[in-house]
Amino acid sequence: MDKFQINGGVALDGEIEIYSAKNSVLALLAASILTDEQVVIHSCPKIGDVYSMIKILESLGCRIIWQNNSVVIDSSNADKYEIPQSYGKEIRSSIFMLGSILGRFRKAKAVFPGGCDIGLRPIDLHLKGLRELNIEVKEHGANIICSAENARGKKIHLDFPSVGATENIMLAGVLIKGKTVICNAAKEPEIVCLQDMLCKMGAKVSGAGTGTIEIEGVKKLKGVEFTPISDRIVAGTYLIAAAMTKGKVYIKNCRPNDLTSLISKLNGVACDILSNDDSILVKGYERPQSVLMVETSPYPGFPTDLQAQILALQTVSQGTSMIVENIFETRFKHVGELIKMGAEIVVKDRYAIVRGVPKLYGTQVFAHDLRGGAALVLAGLAAEGSTTVENVYHIDRGYCQMEEDLKSLGASIKRITC
Ligand code: UD1
């Protein structure tokens, strides 16, 4: 298992370009099977979760080739409707495939999904939504077996605006008879991106980005070439890295409007931030001030996927900060590792209180999940001395060669392949 070795204390300096959003690409790959024509997704990051999703598509009979950074999916010969257990357990997004496989084959078999260990992560909203579309869903041990022979559109209310459930129901709804309406839908930019690609394929979907999404079923979808939106979480991670290292970083090909909740917290407090339509310039402060409170919530609230990184920033900021994690129950596994580096943090239930210290000190730490792992890398960059981040495979699931990006900004970081 690879690890990162980081010599901290270097202020990041330079320019970085952000690639397409993992969470968009995964939903778009799932959508690709809704047509038997060719789908091309440009600017696709070569990250663990994308490779896992591609393996699932191949197991269904799709032919996939990479052309530089574009993924070309030919599912004309796809003939299987079952997600193999080993792949399904690897990646949470395999569950979105239920909706799209049902759209294509009218039947689907999946397993309860895997993904980061950050909470209970049930799929009840997904299954309830599918059942409301008159899709038969049987749960047999670890397996989920569905039939969409009698599926028809309906008005569905989600008890919580789940990103995955919204996407799954959108994917299930586009090729079934009648009108599907999703109330209390997730509003994340990745949902809008999915709607955009589905519409380009000939689907009739509207309302994404608001709490109500309407889908008018059509008979067939066509092929598409599509470039997804850039990754707001990767951009946010590098923004925080610049602030933590007192650096100066110009982040290109990003979407500052998707990061308003982060920018408004940090600008003038931890760093200076200047942004235009598609770039952000961050200039760190000698001693960032703590953010009084950060509370994660569904978009446009503060993203849970940036909670670990902003918490890491608070460990070296002046003052005390309260971080509230409202989305996932056990998403504070990075805290124990940051404490090993000298951070002062207490956690009680969903609350973490962080008292900033003048310095963190390098040591051996373990990534327990994707974003928590990224936060440890940021802490290593800011710390005095050498930090080893173990279990880099978690970070590789969502960041494309993070060490190369950071090296290009002057960081002293190397990957050690064991
Ligand atoms: C997606 C993102 C993930 C992000 C999360 C929240 C992808 C591939 N992943 O994950 O990076 O952290 O949104 O922004 O896009 N829930 C239920 N029942 C369900 C579904 C969800 O109770 O059937 C709960 C979850 O346990 C969690 C909350 O709803 O507490 C949010 O989950 P959800 O929005 O579904 O997250 P994901 O789609 O898994």
The predicted pLDDT at position 115 comes to: 59
Encode burial over 106-133: b for 16+ CB neighbours within 10 A, e otherwise.
bbbbbbbbbbbebeebebebbbbbbebb
Cα of first residue to Cα of last residue in the chain, in angstroms, is 5
Q: How far apart are CA 327 and CA 329, in angstroms?
A: 7
Cβ 332 vs Cβ 343: under 8 Å: no
347 closest CA partner among 358, 334, 359, 356: 334
Burial class (CB in 10 A: 0-12, 13-18, 19+), 385: middle
Q: Provide the annotated active-site residues.
A: 116
DSSP string, 131-157: HHTT-EEEEETTEEEEE-TT-B--EEE
User: From the alpha carbon of 122, which atom of ligand 1 is closest?
Assistant: 18
pTM over 0.95: yes
305 lines ligand 1 (CB under 6 A): yes
Q: How far apart are CA 404 and CA 16, in angstroms?
A: 11
383 lines ligand 1 (CB under 6 A): no
The predicted pLDDT at position 86 comes to: 82
191 lines ligand 1 (CB under 6 A): no
135 closest CA partner among 180, 197, 167: 180
Q: Are strands 143-147 and 107-111 parallel, antiparallel or unpaired?
A: antiparallel
4 lines ligand 1 (CB under 6 A): no
The predicted pLDDT at position 120 comes to: 61
- Cα(189) to ligand 1 centroid in Å equals 14
123 lines ligand 1 (CB under 6 A): yes
Place of tokens 């709804």: 173
How many CA atoms does the CB half-sphere of 281 hold within 13 Å? 2
Instruction: Go through the chain and tell me how many residues it has.
Output: 418
Lookup: tokens for 42: 């440009």
Q: How far apart are CA 58 and CA 50, in angstroms?
A: 12
Q: How far apart are CA 53 and CA 319, in angstroms?
A: 42
SS3 at position 60:
coil
151 closest CA partner among 183, 182, 126, 174: 174
Ligand 1, atom 33: nearest CA belongs to which residue? 162
The predicted pLDDT at position 235 comes to: 98
Q: Which of 49, 52, 97, 160 to mutate to test the pocket of ligand 1 (most atoms within 8 A of CB)?
A: 160
327 lines ligand 1 (CB under 6 A): yes
293 closest CA partner among 373, 350, 378: 350
- Cα(76) to ligand 1 centroid in Å equals 31
Helix 48-59 and helix 22-31, axial crossing angle in degrees, nearest 10:
10
Ligand 1, atom 31: nearest CA belongs to which residue? 162
User: From the alpha carbon of 329, which atom of ligand 1 is closest?
Assistant: 30
The predicted pLDDT at position 153 comes to: 96
Q: From the first residue on, what is the mean pLDDT of each consecutive set of 10 residues in the chain (418 residues)?
A: 96 97 97 97 94 94 96 96 83 85 94 67 90 94 90 96 96 96 98 98 98 97 98 98 98 98 98 97 96 97 98 98 94 96 97 97 97 98 98 96 97 95
Q: How many CB atoms lie within 10 A of CB 247?
A: 23
122 lines ligand 1 (CB under 6 A): yes
Q: How far apart are CA 6 and CA 410, in angstroms?
A: 12
Q: How far apart are CA 241 and CA 381, in angstroms?
A: 8
Q: How far apart are CA 256 and CA 145, in angstroms?
A: 41
